[in-house]
Amino acid sequence: MHVVEEWQPYLDYKIYVRIVEPDRPARRATPLVLLHGGPGSTHNYFELLDPLADLDGRKIVMYDQIGCGRSWDDSMAGHPDLWQAKTWLGELTALRTQLELEHLHLLGQSWGGMLAIMYLCDLRPRGVHSLVLSSTLASASLWSEEGHRRLRYLPEGERRTFLQAEATGDFDTSEFRAAETHYMRLFSTDPVSELGPDAPECLTRPKRSGRESYVTAWGDNELMPSGTLAGYEYADRLGELDLPTLVVSGTQDLCSPLVAKQMADALPRARWELFTNCRHLCFAEDTPRYLRLLSHWLSEFD
């Protein structure tokens, strides 16, 4: 395989795109487009899926969404109007046109899955062969409810710290950030502290996270959506998505089994794969299984 890097125009900015080309393309292998989480994460962790290119003879397209990573421009700062769904939907639409992706598979992880659901429900695009919803959600309210339920896994003092911060709106305390870090380590992988020198380089590489886009669009933390996406409620619309859909989640995921089941039950053509002992990055904590699963799934619906 070989990697092609390019920048595509969007609005008044440039979007970083990374394309993995197989050395021996398979004639029927439909490209896979990857939508990363956040808002404000980067494509970096998706590099763990690069082997799919040669495994399937398939092109893989990933990009840093506007406002983060290599798609950050200092002129974006102080423009909260950017950080709303229509910006990212427009970005995906524009990139698909620019890259001539008439047919594709679509995989969204975390916020990327939300983006994929909105894209399919609201814009009704053609040419999407299948959908992979990885550790994501269809309802901000259920995500928040499940997050609050899981506060019971924290010591009593940390749980009180969460609830006090929520009541006062003051999250910028050392006590709250320590409790938040503990919570995230329970349900979301932290490769730097947990894997150290054994972590794949793409997981530990320094990156520019889009904190401004995250706080404006989602909120201060995972449990308490308060931004432009706080009203994200698509559970009742999942029946509109009549295409093969693979739901992937971990037993210890921020996407709790109940959140995943809500999607799997409502989607007309869904299959749910639950990864035992995995958290929010199933493809990082059990990469071999994830690659096998994805290869078989995509090949079935090429």
The residues that are catalytic are 110, 253, 280
Please name the amino acid found at residue 219. G
Distance in angstroms (rounded) separating the CA atoms of residues 113 and 119: 10
Handedness of CA 80, 86, 87, 88 (dihedral sign): positive
Residues 96 and 119: beta-carbon distance below 8 Å: no
Residues 6+ apart with CB under 8 A from 34: 43, 46, 49, 60, 61, 62, 107, 108, 109, 112
Decide: helix, strand or coil at residue 102: coil
Distance in angstroms (rounded) separating the CA atoms of residues 32 and 43: 14
